[in-house]
A = this chain, B = another copy of it.
Amino acid sequence: MKVRVRVLPLGKDLNLKVGANLRSALIEAGVPLDSPCGGQGTCLKCKVQVSGVTEKLTELEREKLSAEELDHGWHLACQVTVEESGEVRLPEIEVSRAKAGFGLLGEEIPLQPNVRRRHFELSSPTINDQRADWNRLAEYLEASEPVPVRAELSLLQEISERLREGNFQGEAVLVGDEVVALDPPDVAEDVLGVALDIGTTTLAAGLVDLDTGKIVALDAELNPQITFGADVISRIMYTQDGSEKRENLQKEVIKGLNQLLLRMCRSAKRERERIFEATVVGNTTMLHALLGLNALHIALAPYVGGLNRALCVPAEELGLQIHRRGRVHILPSIASFVGADTVGVILATRLHQTKVPRLAIDIGTNGEVMLATNDGVLTASTAAGPAFEGGRIKFGMRAIKGAISSFQATPSVDYTVIGGATARGICGSGLIDLVAELFRAGVLDRKGRMLLPSEAGASLATDLAARVRVRGEEREFVIFKNEEREVTLTQQDVRELQLAKGAIRAGIELLMKEAGISTDDIQEVLLAGVFGNYINREKAVTLGLIPPFPLEKVHFIGNGAMDGALRALLSLEERRWADEISAQVHHIELSGRPDFEETFLRCLALGN
């Protein structure tokens, strides 16, 4: 028997045998796990943080791991026997070792961050060399910097003490051309950066050691703004009552980010004060909310935001709790509904450098479609709505423990629940599986109508027929039921999925039409998004979410937006690419096209 184990931060799913040794299984699957002792339990380097997978602790683990580590689910991979599905989180991923296919920075990126450490050894002042402290340091640094260096007042206010404490030697930390910190010599303090992805539903963060390029923590959190509305339009509308509403929205997301950073730094045993830069992607509305900008005109035709360019803001001005002189670099957006998250996906997938037609789809609350050809990249935004993230679905939930994440109707009803627990709801990938399988099995017709046994005819398996019922006015399909609870898929749920599916598929169709190419021309299809890896490719085709591509052309890239933010954190060249992408990618406003409505209505139908 096999269970599914997700490996984080890679976002890679493995099907592992129950009873397998976790360390061996991970290494066999190519996961870069550090375990120089070969699994003897002596090097203690194969620590992983586990959720599900096992419920046992060995004697060795009890002895070698701290109480805090045990509390947080840490195990030694060599001691773990796989028992059930779940998640395994690796402590550190060295970028250069994270190869293509893991969905996270699938290639080596030369380390060229905006945050740099510079060692200095200054001559001490004498009566014959009375240069002021800042002049002395700046001249030293400028001997090998391309441009003059700068400093904020707060650093200048402490420079005289700092230089004398270190006897005029030490380490300067620069963000761009600005000296932001002075460390004493011989004290190896961290230089960290963080990549942030601000989604409508989820905040994700990747903490990076900028000396090594290692990702030292990767974590996510619900966007607390969700209490002000599940989608971007409802949040924009919330802010229109007064500017304090805009501040509320801003405060909530900052609070969420600060909590996330605090938790990550605690678990990685790092200091938030040593994070010198944050790179940020997100959809345009979320970036407006983060910055306290009025996003009203994003929601009103002709859909124009306040800012699509990249922006650098002092972290202190936003209230982001990193180093007091740390900077926040917001990546540029493309249009009001094609944000910096899409720029991140393009950056991560190299669509902007492609020679052959390639298609990428980032599925979240909005679905962004990107089509690259030799003539450049086209993008479109489609209003997928929150269905894929569990929104407006009766038993919808995020992909956490208790969520039905995959489903099959034949030969008999079977499904997987995350964490191996009792089913509590349905996450995005489960929803796609359900609708695709029920359509294939004849429970749903092409128009998405749920058929009663009498309507479906004799071909419908008895087992399936028995699960369709009518409650009140509405038809529903019972997936799970025990004495305490049940989980069903309603007719309305199917309609919600159709809207989402139809929007995305219409975007794909119209971009192909605009570029003058057909399904056959496309050489690669990339599925991105927080839950991208969970989608069953075959069922996405069955459903008609994507055109009938050969499955070998379809790849999952995980959270490509986060990859883009990480790239911009690790390399200034990537950051320049991002600006170029923002300026050069051609956005197609679907609602402005005369053929949009017809295409959308046609794409609502299930199947290919």
**Which positions in A face B, CB cutoff 8 Å?**
125-135, 138, 153, 156-157, 159-161, 291-294, 296-297, 301-309, 311, 313, 317-318, 333, 335-336, 587, 589, 591-592
> Who on chain B is nearest to A284 by CB?
B132
Interchain nearest-CB distance for A339 vs B (Å): 11
Q: Which of B129, B135, B291, B591 contacts A307 (CB 8 A)?
A: B135
Interchain nearest-CB distance for A261 vs B (Å): 20
Is the CB–CB distance between B302 and A160 below 8 Å? Answer: no
Q: Which residues on B sit within 8 Å (CB–CB) of A311?
A: 153, 156
Given A135-B309, A309-B134: A301 in contact with B127 (beta carbons within 8 A): yes
Q: Which of B130, B589, B592 contacts A302 (CB 8 A)?
A: B130
Given A130-B587, A309-B138, A335-B130: A157 in contact with B292 (beta carbons within 8 A): yes
Give the top 3 A-B pairs by smallest Cβ distance, nearest first.
Answer: A132-B308, A125-B304, A132-B305
Is the CB–CB distance between B161 and A130 below 8 Å? Answer: no
Given A135-B308, A135-B309, A153-B292: A130 in contact with B160 (beta carbons within 8 A): no
Given A125-B302, A160-B296, A294-B160: A589 in contact with B133 (beta carbons within 8 A): no
Question: Whole-angstrom distance between the alpha carbons of A134 and B333 in the complex?
Answer: 12
Q: Which residues on B sit within 8 Å (CB–CB) of A296?
A: 160
Question: Whole-angstrom distance between the alpha carbons of A564 and B336 in the complex?
Answer: 48
Question: Whole-angstrom distance between the alpha carbons of A294 and B160 in the complex?
Answer: 7
Question: Whole-angstrom distance between the alpha carbons of A159 and B160 in the complex?
Answer: 40
> Who on chain B is nearest to A296 by CB?
B160
Known: A130-B304, A132-B305. 18 other contacts (CB 8 A): A125-B302, A125-B304, A127-B303, A129-B302, A130-B302, A130-B335, A130-B587, A131-B308, A133-B305, A134-B306, A135-B307, A138-B309, A153-B291, A153-B313, A153-B317, A157-B291, A157-B294, A160-B294
Question: Whole-angstrom distance between the alpha carbons of A225 and B603 in the complex?
Answer: 75
> Who on chain B is nearest to A318 by CB?
B153
Given A291-B156, A291-B157, A292-B157: A127 in contact with B309 (beta carbons within 8 A): no
Is the CB–CB distance between B306 and A130 below 8 Å? Answer: no
Is the CB–CB distance between B306 and A127 below 8 Å? Answer: no
Q: Which residues on B sit within 8 Å (CB–CB) of A128?
A: 589, 592
Question: Whole-angstrom distance between the alpha carbons of A311 and B179 in the complex?
Answer: 14
Number of copies: 2
Given A156-B293, A291-B153, A592-B128: A134 in contact with B307 (beta carbons within 8 A): yes
Give 19 CB contacts A-B under 8 Å: A127-B303, A127-B592, A128-B592, A129-B302, A130-B589, A132-B304, A132-B308, A133-B297, A133-B304, A133-B305, A133-B306, A134-B306, A135-B307, A135-B308, A153-B317, A157-B293, A160-B294, A160-B296, A161-B294
Question: Whole-angstrom distance between the alpha carbons of A297 and B168 in the complex?
Answer: 14
Interchain nearest-CB distance for A246 vs B (Å): 8
Q: Which of B127, B157, B306, B313 contacts A159 (CB 8 A)?
A: B306
Interchain nearest-CB distance for A44 vs B (Å): 45
Is the CB–CB distance between A132 and B336 below 8 Å? Answer: yes
Question: Whole-angstrom distance between the alpha carbons of A173 and B71 in the complex?
Answer: 57
Question: Whole-angstrom distance between the alpha carbons of A159 and B589 in the complex?
Answer: 23
Question: Whole-angstrom distance between the alpha carbons of A317 and B325 in the complex?
Answer: 14
Interchain nearest-CB distance for A131 vs B (Å): 7
Question: Whole-angstrom distance between the alpha carbons of A296 and B132 in the complex?
Answer: 12
Q: Which residues on B sit within 8 Å (CB–CB) of A292?
A: 153, 157
Question: Whole-angstrom distance between the alpha carbons of A302 and B296 in the complex?
Answer: 59
Given A125-B304, A304-B125: A297 in contact with B160 (beta carbons within 8 A): yes
Given A160-B296, A307-B156: A302 in contact with B127 (beta carbons within 8 A): yes
Interchain nearest-CB distance for A300 vs B (Å): 10
Q: Which of B291, B294, B317, B336 contacts A130 (CB 8 A)?
A: B336
Q: Which residues on B sit within 8 Å (CB–CB) of A126?
A: 302
Interchain nearest-CB distance for A107 vs B (Å): 30
Interchain nearest-CB distance for A342 vs B (Å): 15
Q: Which residues on B sit within 8 Å (CB–CB) of A160?
A: 293-294, 296-297, 306
Given A291-B157, A292-B153: A130 in contact with B303 (beta carbons within 8 A): yes
Interchain nearest-CB distance for A156 vs B (Å): 6
Q: Which residues on B sit within 8 Å (CB–CB) of A318?
A: 153
Is the CB–CB distance between B127 and A589 below 8 Å? Answer: yes
> Who on chain B is nearest to A148 by CB?
B309
Question: Whole-angstrom distance between the alpha carbons of A306 and B318 in the complex?
Answer: 29
Q: Which residues on B sit within 8 Å (CB–CB) of A130?
A: 302-304, 335-336, 587, 589
Is the CB–CB distance between B132 and A307 below 8 Å? Answer: yes
Q: Which residues on B sit within 8 Å (CB–CB) of A307?
A: 132-135, 156, 159
Is the CB–CB distance between A131 and B294 below 8 Å? Answer: no
Question: Whole-angstrom distance between the alpha carbons of A127 and B297 in the complex?
Answer: 12
> Who on chain B is nearest to A314 by CB?
B153
Interchain nearest-CB distance for A303 vs B (Å): 6
